[in-house]
Structure 1
């Protein structure tokens, strides 16, 4: 018995040592050899994070012999290009970088590769890549997983937070005048009443300065921006706990109506063409120093706060989580994920590239050049902590609220964009617009989504 037990113990030790040796022996160069000469085609949104990826890709090419081609398009066009390719099953793209609202539709239609097989493949999996330990779990599970399956990794973990002009809010004359009118000190807004007061105070169109700027175009940007107000006011679209759940429709609740009424009120302090603005337009206004405060994406902060070739307000912009309402200080879980289509002809090479990009060094470099990493250890890096928006971004991750990733999510978004726009243009009241949206969303989702607040 002792001899058998000894052999068993020694055999176990030998097995562990073998695994350690194998883990230590893994290299990207060896893993990539079978795929040398392949081309990985990547498609995503034309913003600094993807531009940073394109600059990093030659390092991967040199190490592996695998070519990387990157296509960049405006948000809607990037989504449409992928949708056409998936529906045609041509397999043009090997890595699709897509917003998470598309995830349920892609997954349920069989368009996406479940990555569990590659993660369990010792020939492909870098043993130092441990996403369950290295990523913000909550955002990763929301934006890259569906129905318990892992389809990808976060390309960007996004949120919207408040941007404000520190030079304006700290100007002694502005502080004196503001307190004389409103009865309290001028400082970054902590609630929505303060936000509106600041927008009103700095609304000076004759000087080329506006209090705020809304992304009020009939575009996905309108839906994304308004969700921050909706959540903060204590509302939601569906009464559910996660994005993949179906549940009662509450988008026409009193809290939602109040959120839309408030949002509309900010048009009075925005540029006259705000109904034609989306994120690129309002970002440009801040870059040009023409707006005092606004709600904007964390992956656009680099272009305003760091890039002196594009921004006139570098060193003059502060960042904070969105102001507090009845629902507290909340944000939204959003992001774009690396995904591999089932029709890709280079799936293994695509996985190797995604895995490589998720490494600490690449994530750090991408983040410093306009990215929005999903790795908390990158946020902890000294270089990142020096960035003026890092703490606000981390706080927004913690306060994030998930939104629908159901197969019908795109249609839900379209309904809300249309109805929000109809209210902003004055065609409908806030209540009428949201009643219509609630009715149509309930009909779209079926019996799992009854209306909690019947339309009048």
Structure 2
């Protein structure tokens, strides 16, 4: 999920790109914090210093609505350019590559959050017997957040890595400014989104009034605040790397996060290689239908897919002096041969999302594609199937990509922190976030925001 890591792939193709095109590739490296501001400044002032950018998917509404980038529709089938197939991209991540029916982002990284669990702990007969005695049902991979809570509570305080020190039920990163709000999005989705409410999560598309105060959002935050008790207190100030390290050291039974963790778990120093299971984000037994104004029960766990994260992918500046060369570079990196390497090695921030990334029966990748990069076979089979299920789930958390998206998310991040640290109740925190959202919408223009929001939802 880190754009800084994507630079590795650009450096790897530099020589090949220059030999094929005769162009010179100058790679400008900036931090994630600087990235968006640099690009927006360049296109707003029509400078054209940067021909392309490896952009976050949430930027797309702002960039397209601002007429700052160009579609690559006219290049896509042109035989002069490297060939890649957009139809290989699974339905959910593919929706991020297009806007208002035109192609803007070239397939690269495909973010989404899944649940990770310690397979060895859940399979231990001693834990199975003790868990069943305490909770009255069999210990297994959680399919609902209620089950997730029980598993986290059960393992919290137990030594999970054999060092004699008590460990945690779960690990999260909740520091303000550290992308912690993404966790709430994935977590809360099944409390709000369901078969009778597939899209109403962020705003009312008729009025742009925020929906964050719905009973579904409030209950989700109440459950999340309760869950925080089963992790270390320090995680309230953890960034993403610290949280991942905690899990990789074998100090937590559960987490939910991006695909990077599955790849990092295979690297030297990991204490969980061969022990890390992956599954879909848990669901709920009922969700709040915003349009129906009531809770709706489901026969099976209501699990909702997501493309939570940045899904870093290339876009071409409208002010590029070499748009064809820019597309050539992005298409080269999107070819099957290169994309398979990026996804399989796992640690370079490029996560799977195309059919050839997934093992049979879901896709047509070969197990050897992963084993040669050090994956434990059981780990990658779980990982592959979980991500395929996440991206092909018909129910998906609507992805916000309108002007001001990150301003909305930063406001939500602050209010969520106030809830998990006990400064505000979940209800008060979400009410405050709704007020923040309204202020941003008024500042940017309600009608403009409404048009962009409806376009982004395909309405």
What TM-score do you get using the length of structure 1 for normalisation? 0.79
Separation in 2 of the partners of 1:443 and 1:149? 31
Is the 1:45–1:73 Cα contact (8 Å) retained in structure 2?
no
For 1:121-200, what aligned pairs fall within 5 Å after superposition?
122=78, 124-126=80-82, 128-131=83-86, 133-141=87-95, 143-200=96-153
**Structure 2 SS opposite 1:110:** coil
Does the alignment pair 1:440 with 2:439? no
**Structure 2 SS opposite 1:233:** helix
For 1:34-433, what aligned pairs fall within 5 Å after superposition?
45-47=3-5, 50-71=7-28, 74-119=31-76, 122=78, 124-126=80-82, 128-131=83-86, 133-141=87-95, 143-204=96-157, 207-219=165-177, 221-234=179-192, 240=200, 247-304=208-265, 306-307=266-267, 309-325=268-284, 326-327=286-287, 328-334=302-308, 335-370=311-346, 371-379=350-358, 380-383=364-367, 387-388=380-381, 389-399=383-393, 400-433=396-429
Deviation at 1:298, TM superposition (A): 1.4
- Evaluate the alpha carbon distance shift between residue 160 and residue 178 of structure 1 in structure 2; reply closer, same or farther with a 3 A threshold: same
Separation in 1 of the partners of 2:340 and 2:275? 24
Following TM superposition, the consecutive aligned residue runs of length 4 or more in structure 1 with deviations greater than 6 angstroms are 241-246
Query: CA-to-partner distance for each residue in 1:58-110, whole Å, 9 max, x for gaps?
Result: 44344444444545555434334433444454433333112211111111222
Separation in 1 of the partners of 2:22 and 2:35? 27
Deviation at 1:57, TM superposition (A): 4.1
Is the 2:174–2:239 Cα contact (8 Å) retained in structure 1?
yes
- Evaluate the alpha carbon distance shift between residue 390 and residue 87 of structure 1 in structure 2; reply closer, same or farther with a 3 A threshold: same
Separation in 2 of the partners of 1:381 and 1:346? 35
Relative to structure 2, which stretch is displaced further, 385-394 or 410-419?
A: 385-394
RMSD between aligned residues: 2.9
Separation in 2 of the partners of 1:179 and 1:159? 32
Is the 2:248–2:270 Cα contact (8 Å) retained in structure 1?
yes
Relative to structure 2, which stretch is displaced further, 398-407 or 83-92?
A: 83-92
**Structure 2 SS opposite 1:432:** helix
- Evaluate the alpha carbon distance shift between residue 257 and residue 165 of structure 1 in structure 2; reply closer, same or farther with a 3 A threshold: same
- Evaluate the alpha carbon distance shift between residue 84 and residue 376 of structure 1 in structure 2; reply closer, same or farther with a 3 A threshold: same
The aligned length equals 400
Deviation at 1:208, TM superposition (A): 4.3
Structure 2, unpaired ranges of 5+? 159-163, 288-301, 359-363, 371-376, 451-459
Query: CA-to-partner distance for each residue in 1:183-223, whole Å, 9 max, x for gaps?
Result: 22222111111111111111127824111022211125211
Is the 2:90–2:392 Cα contact (8 Å) retained in structure 1?
no
Larger radius of gyration: 1
Counterpart residue number, 1:10 = none
Separation in 1 of the partners of 2:408 and 2:188? 15
- Evaluate the alpha carbon distance shift between residue 98 and residue 351 of structure 1 in structure 2; reply closer, same or farther with a 3 A threshold: same
**Structure 1 SS opposite 2:109:** strand
